[in-house]
Structure 1
Amino acid sequence: MTKVSFNNNNKPFANTLRNRVNDYFKTRNISNTGNRRLYIKSIILVTFAVGIYITLIFFPLPIWVACVLCILLGINFAAIGFNIMHEGGHQSFSKKAWLNTVSAYTLNMLGGTIYFWKQKHNINHHTYTNVDGLDHDIDIKFMRTHTDQPRKWFHRFQFAYWFLLYGISYIAWVMFQDFEKYFSGKMGNKAIRKAMPLREHVIFWGTKLGYTTVYLVIPILMVGWLPALVGWLIAGISCGFCLAVVFQLAHVVEGTQFPVADPDTGKIEQEWMVHQLSTTANFATGSRFISWLLGGLNFQVEHHLFPRISHVHYPAINKLVKATCKEYNVAYIEHRTMGHAFLSHLRHIHVLGKR
């Protein structure tokens, strides 16, 4: 495949927007990383996760209470990913590099591999958003997310089985896809194989051993294999559903584009920032609760334009982005509520399954 690039020779929109955002932080003399609000929220999320885990493992509970706590634990894991890991992975959690590293490695504490995530997410997804073959986040097994993907006979039923795939996505990621990447050395089917440093080999196996011990072995020893396995599945499905839905509402809805590079030149005829706006959508930006829980990922447009800026600043940045888009006549995709975005996603995959 020809290396894909963007038409950045003349980029007045990007220059104007960057200058305005830089001026916002400069005139207020504030850092673009996280602040006390983020750190307090992080402590709350981690404390709740540890508390729920201890309660499930060491205290006798009615079955229905245990099931509810497992659901809450899965949601809590997703919230840690949205608010702590994601910020650390983008180096926006703190001005201190070591604190970004610690927060990024919360992914490994949840069974994932930050080394793989940074390549797949920071490089592939953020650079080539919604570009087939390069953004592996839109390459979902058994799902057709855009028209350039071949339509298989089973896609006509994807409007009915999507919830199953989204639910198992976290478990599949931790228990299968990471191993697929590890042994293949590739982030996706069309990716180039890369050698893995020795340090990362050690971290990978340590992570998988730790995850298995904490979330399967210890629970089995404490509460028995059946309750432990059922609880692990409930928490994993709850987490996976949250993670998958938030991503889909940001990129796989009506109105978002899936640009194709010129086959000869490998160039996409948009400046990079305009490309991000055409492939990304916001939702429910007026809801403080959703913004708090999702780590500002409902402000996905602002995140893709400025991934090194912490989500605590997105509401203010949002105003600058919208004003600049209006000035340069650049489309800005946004759904008023999460429900509206969710229905838009369902309509999108339903249409793609039919034709």
Structure 2
Amino acid sequence: MLMQLKFTNTARSQFFVTVRHRVDAYFKENGISPHANKAMWTKASFFLGGYVLLYGLILSNQFGPWTMLAMAIGLGLFAAFIGFNVSHDAIHGAFSSRSWVNKLLGSSFYLIGANPYIWKISHNVVHHTYTNIPGHDEDLEIAPGLIRVDMDEPYRPWQRFQHWYAFPLYSLASLSWIFRKDFLKFFQKQIGQQAHSAPPFREYLILFTTKAAYYFFFLVLPYIVLDLTGWQLVMGFVVMHLVEGLVLGLVFQLAHVVEGTNFPVPTDQTTIQEAWAVHQLQTTANFAPRSAVAAFFCGGLNRQIEHHLFPKVCHIHYPALTTIVKQTAHDFDLPYLENRSFFSALHSHYRLLKKLGQESDE
């Protein structure tokens, strides 16, 4: 039975009214668009161009196996960075005010073997609405039965080691995505507790066509043109995706599964006794918010609080929004969670995994 949740604490809804007013005023007073600027277009061009360049260099067959393996690692990194910096903003409608531009850039998801149609439902709708709510936010289902991120989830003895084996499992995220996840979600009747009707026939056609094209360009064509053995080709492909998966997995975990973030349980199975925007503050954390390097490579997702409150604003503007959101949260005596660096967030995630890997006292 599907359970649609409602956020019922209207008394705390004034926070979002205020912070949205202040953010709107920032853009109006400075005469700037909330969408991509020149710096954002330059960054998108860098990642897309770097991805195409690395792929072309590998296919040129002018390098030895070890050099091509290094390029495959670079290709995995650039694939993750395209997801963060180009696809993610575009699918949220944040890259441009023109829908066709967002749709075109959102198609960059196909370059990394993923499907934008199903991502828009599972991420934009489900994850952004029901963040960190067990049973509703499927992003919490990292490896069911292996990784425990919810105290109410049944405990299994091997989970006492999850703070060690979780990280290698994160590396499998990309391989699961291109071979399993999209197909599975296309045929599910629900995503989380959100009803999922059958996609239009056109989307099925796009799914199978683009997946086949991805397999051809990354498995069949390299096998034809490269002087590599079958096992060398498979190793390069797998290593590329292990790198990509680890980067993708870690960025999500460091934003939502760290000490201080909540995993609220609905009352009466249908109610979250909190305002939606306040819920986002309670379930999301920033990491390395002052790092220009993290902002550049993570597509602003090191500032997840700002992203969750303003997903239709291009991430290039998040540094300015951070000051506004943080001050407004302080004004309303609300939490604003952040880890000062990537490594402090990583350590926090590790400690939380270790804690959740222990059997509860009950």
Cα deviation digits, residues 225-280 of structure 1 (max 9, x gap): 2222111111111100000000000000010001111116x221111111000000
CA distance in 1, matches of 2:196, 2:20: 34
- Code of the aligned partner of 1:238: V
Q: Is the 8 A contact 2:79 2:111 kept in 1?
A: no
Residue in 2 aligned with 1:309? 313
Residue 192 in structure 1 maps to residue 195 in structure 2: yes
Task: Mark the runs of 5 or more structure 2 residues left unpaired by the alignment.
Answer: none
1:148-167 mapped onto 2 (5 Å cutoff) = 148-167=152-171
Q: Is the 8 A contact 1:185 1:196 kept in 2?
A: no
> Could you tell which deviates more after superposition, 2-11 or 199-208?
2-11
Q: Is the 8 A contact 1:109 1:207 kept in 2?
A: no
Residue 47 in structure 1 maps to residue 52 in structure 2: no
- Code of the aligned partner of 1:70: A
CA distance in 2, matches of 1:12, 1:187: 30
Residue in 1 aligned with 2:215? 212
Secondary structure of the equivalent of 1:16? Answer: helix
CA distance in 2, matches of 1:126, 1:183: 22
| Selected match of 2:289 from 279, 285, 293 | 285
| Selected match of 2:265 from 260, 264, 268 | 260
Residue in 2 aligned with 1:146? 150
Residue 247 in structure 1 maps to residue 259 in structure 2: no
| Selected match of 1:230 from 235, 241, 248 | 235
Question: What is the TM-score of this pair, normalised by structure 2?
Answer: 0.94
CA distance in 1, matches of 2:206, 2:25: 40
Aligned-residue RMSD, C-alpha: 1.3
CA distance in 2, matches of 1:351, 1:278: 19
1:185, distance to aligned residue in structure 2 (A): 4.3
Secondary structure of the equivalent of 2:10? Answer: coil
Secondary structure of the equivalent of 1:354? Answer: coil
Q: Is the 8 A contact 2:261 2:282 kept in 1?
A: yes
Question: What is the TM-score of this pair, normalised by structure 1?
Answer: 0.96
CA distance in 2, matches of 1:56, 1:41: 23
CA distance in 1, matches of 2:48, 2:62: 22
Q: Is the 8 A contact 1:116 1:187 kept in 2?
A: no
Residue in 1 aligned with 2:342? 338
1:167, distance to aligned residue in structure 2 (A): 0.6
Secondary structure of the equivalent of 2:338? Answer: strand
Residue in 1 aligned with 2:330? 326
Q: 1:31 to 1:237 in 2, by over 3 A?
A: same
Secondary structure of the equivalent of 1:105? Answer: helix
1:41-120 mapped onto 2 (5 Å cutoff) = 41-120=43-122
- Code of the aligned partner of 2:237: W
Cα deviation digits, residues 184-231 of structure 1 (max 9, x gap): 34435x553411101101111111111111111111112242222111
CA distance in 1, matches of 2:160, 2:285: 25
Secondary structure of the equivalent of 1:94? Answer: coil
1:303, distance to aligned residue in structure 2 (A): 0.3
CA distance in 2, matches of 1:69, 1:321: 40
Cα deviation digits, residues 113-138 of structure 1 (max 9, x gap): 11110000000100000001111000
Following superposition, which runs of at least 4 residues in structure 1 exceed 6 angstroms of deviation?
Answer: none
Cα deviation digits, residues 138-187 of structure 1 (max 9, x gap): 01222111212222222122112112211111011110111212233443
Residue 5 in structure 1 maps to residue 6 in structure 2: yes
Matched pairs, number: 353
Residue identity over aligned pairs, in percent, reads 37
Secondary structure of the equivalent of 1:282? Answer: strand
1:321, distance to aligned residue in structure 2 (A): 0.7
1:62, distance to aligned residue in structure 2 (A): 3.0
